[in-house]
Structure formats: structure tokens, C-alpha cells
Amino acid sequence: MQILSVHISIIPIRMEKDVNIHDDLTALILSSIKEQKQKLHDNDILVITHKIISKAEGRLVSLNNIRPSRRAYSIAAKHGKDPRIVELILRESRRIVKIERGVIIVETKHGFVCANAGIDQSNINGNFVALLPSNPDSSAARIRNKIKRRTGRRIAVIITDTFGRPFREGQVNVAIGLSGLKPLTDYRGLRDTFGKELKVTEIAVADEIASAAELAMGKLDLTPVAIIRGLSYKNTKGSSRELIRKRRNDLFR
């Protein structure tokens, strides 16, 4: 399926209230949309940073309560890290991919390959850190279903985090959870403008949406939500797991 659009809008949604455990996150998002005199339309895509998902789902951990293992102490001493953070990284990971120059790259329990298992201390009060949501696809589906019940709107939801990229500087937002759209657009079998058949082209459209939304959301502006409007897509089942390259296809593992 080819995705075409004449005009795409990115509408940032500020949230003045901090999110706490057990908050009705969907209600907070809808309230923030209303406060900014905006409305959801059918086929909008709601992009949400994982941080507020993690807060609402109680995925915050106090470092004061972490007792590092012997392995965590060893890694921390060798690489200049907080042993409590290292301990959480180990708990949230399937395996360590690489440790070099104070950077710990792991494969998380979700299957993501990223730094520090996605554990983040930014935009959190006190001595707490945020873990990634346990099941970001399920989190996205719950929000999408609640919005459908409360507003009648059929939308898609993408949950994002900021990842580095192999062989390139800087970070970009990527999709770590989604509901209501396919994350990949497959061009294989189609022909280019010169009639040549495309053999391998698959576009990670969910990651592109996540990165585009980040341009309007920023990191310091209390804007953890954005509405993407005008993008043509098929409202169907999808999973962020489709974006994870299988080990047998990975040249580096």
C-alpha cells in the first residue's frame, strides 16, 4: 500500500499538569486537546511520548530502593556509571550488546536495541527514573480504544522514544508502540519511474511519523503529545514488533 498525502499538519498538544501513577491519561490528553481549542478528527494519528505512559502506568522507580548486584557494581566501576542505573539496565534487558566509553547498548525485553534499556531520568522529579512501558503496543491500544468510546473518533496511536542510530550522530524519535496502523509500507513488487521492480524497499512509516511529530513536540516544552493530520493510511492492526529486524536478517548480530 502506498501512502500519499497532499497536506500534513502536526499539531503540538501541551499538557500543563504532570502525570502521576493511575491518572486517567486518556482524559488528560483529551482535556489538553480541548483546552487548546482543538478536536480529534477521524484518521488523525495521536503521537505520545512514552514518558507520560510510563508515569501513568507506574513505571517509575526510585533509585533509593535499588540494591545493585555484584555484576552491576563491576560494570559501573569499570565504565563510570551509577551502579543503581546499571542494575536497572540489567533487569530490563535480555542481553548486553556492547559497552564502550560509558555507553551501554542492550537488547531490551521488548526486543529493542538501544542505550541504557531506554531508562530515562529527564523530566522526572526527585531521585526517580522512568522505565519503558511493559507493553507499549497494549498501552497504545488502550488509549485508542478509550478515545473511540469517549469521542467516537477512529484514530491511530503511536508511542515514541528517542533512540540513537548506528553510524549516524544525533537521536531521533522512533515508534516503540502503536495501534491502528501498519508500521511498514511495503513497496516490494512495485515498479519505479523507469519500470524497474523494487526488490527490498520497505519504509518505516511509523518511525517517520514519530520523528516528524518530535519537531513540534520538542524535549523541554511540556508537549508530550502531537496530532498528525492529513496522512492517508489504512486503519488496521499493526505492531511495533514488525519494526524489529529479525536476528537471522541482521548482519551485525
Q: Are residues 171 and 91 in the same domain?
A: no
pLDDT tens per residue, range 208-250: 999 999 999 977 678 999 999 999 888 888 999 999 988 888 8
Q: Are residues 206 and 140 in the same domain?
A: yes
Domains of the chain: total: 2
Q: Are residues 138 and 215 in the same domain?
A: yes
Specify burial of residue 132 (Cβ count, 10 A radius: 0-12, 13-18, 19+). Answer: buried
Q: Are residues 45 and 149 in the same domain?
A: yes
CATH number for the domain spanning 167: value is: 3.30.1330.100
Banded model confidence at residue 102, pLDDT cuts 50, 70, 90: confident
CB-based contacts of 54: which residues, under 8 Å, 6+ apart? 60, 130, 131, 132, 133
Would you state the pLDDT for residue 3?
A: 46
**Domain assignment of residue 250, yes or no:** no
The larger pLDDT score, comparing residue 195 to residue 26, is at 26
As a whole number of angstroms, the longest Cα–Cα distance in the chain is 62
Q: Are residues 71 and 53 in the same domain?
A: no
Q: Are residues 18 and 83 in the same domain?
A: no
* Mean pLDDT, the chain, whole residue set: 91
Q: Are residues 43 and 83 in the same domain?
A: no
Q: Are residues 84 and 174 in the same domain?
A: no
pLDDT tens per residue, range 16-46: 888 999 999 999 999 999 999 999 999 999 9
CATH number for the domain spanning 122: value is: 3.90.1660.10
Q: Is the pLDDT of residue 138 over 70?
A: yes
Residue 30 structural domain: 9-59+133-245
**Nine cell digits for residue 64:** 533509593
Contact 14, 37 (CB under 8 A): no
| H-helix or E-strand spanning residue 181 | none
- Residue ending a domain, among 100, 128, 156, is 128
